[in-house]
Amino acid sequence: MNSKQQKESAVQSDVADRVAVITGAGNGLGRAHALAFAAAGYAVVVNDLGGSRDGSGDSTGPASDVVDEITAAGGRAVANTDDISTWNGAKSLIDQAVESFGGLDVLVNNAGILRDRMLTSMSEAEWDAVIAVHLKGTFGPTRHAAEFWRNRAKSGATNDARVINTTSPSGLFGAPGQTNYGAAKAGIAGFTVIAAMELQRYGVTVNAVAPTALTRLTEDLAAAREMAESVDLAPEGVSPVVLWLAGPAGRDVTGRVLAVIGGTIAVVEGWAYGPEIHSDERWTTQRLDEVLPDLLAKAAPGADMTGHRPVR
């Protein structure tokens, strides 16, 4: 066995008994993640409701097709079509992983839909559907997985577990027409930071990836198509980052958000205090007139849609 084969064998043995659940894995990013994890040696639960881009409908086809592709290549996988935006569906998904493969080590929350609309035209249903799939669909599986890992820790077992969430530049930097999607994705970033604090004691890291990729959710967006002409936005380019976070090298990384745009990886730095002022007396609007304009002028400008601060 040469050195390359030895290295590959060592990598395989590191994950030979590890189990990954990936939501929204029937298409796009989730499919790419599922194939990458299976190729690396993980047993994979491929979750996908099989709905359309806007979340309507359902089908067993997408999840089953990915499972067939994995097993044909010699990997281990089972399909799951539970609705992870529901409490029972999320629990059923986690239960299936444990029942099928004897445990759970990695949860990749990736399921998502789009119902873009300008705020003045957005309906309640368009808001609720997107928030449910993205935000509750991240909370539910994580909540049930966390219970499984907490119980293992309380029984004396050691966890080496990961949660990897999918946020978006839309939620971090903003995008017109996506108040529902952006609010959900911003919520996922906040959820990631807090869940990382809470679950670290149980041997669980929690991170998020903000991908820019050309998938069925973005293929009709002019900006995405234009960027894809000069940048490789294939979903497969994002999966190695997710796989790295799930692996041994990511064991000490938690509470982070990583943006992935083609060959560029950026650490997204969250909210932090900038310039500040203090008063021992209660503020009045008159006094604020004197100091707030200058304070705001000292603050760094917000990032634009590319994630970069404009040059003054």
Catalytic positions are: 168, 181, 185
Q: Which residues of 188-216 are buried (b: 16+ CB within 10 A; e: fewer)?
A: bbebbbebbeebeebbbbbbbbbbbbbbe
What span, in angstroms and rounded, lies between the C-alpha atoms of 33 and 246? 11
β-bridge partners, 45: 21, 78
What span, in angstroms and rounded, lies between the C-alpha atoms of 271 and 163? 22
β-bridge partners, 211: 260
β-bridge partners, 22: 46, 108
User: Phi/psi at 131 (nearest 5 deg)?
Assistant: -60, -40
Rounded (10°) angle between helices 179-199 and 124-131: 30
Pairing relationship of beta strands 19-22 and 264-267 according to DSSP bridges: unpaired
Closest CA to 77 of 39, 130, 24: 39
Q: Indicate the SS3 state at residue 260.
A: strand
What span, in angstroms and rounded, lies between the C-alpha atoms of 160 and 246? 9
**HEC string for 222-246:** HHHHHHHCCCCCCHHHCHHHHHHHH
Q: Indicate the SS3 state at residue 165.
A: strand
What span, in angstroms and rounded, lies between the C-alpha atoms of 29 and 11? 23
What span, in angstroms and rounded, lies between the C-alpha atoms of 302 and 300? 6
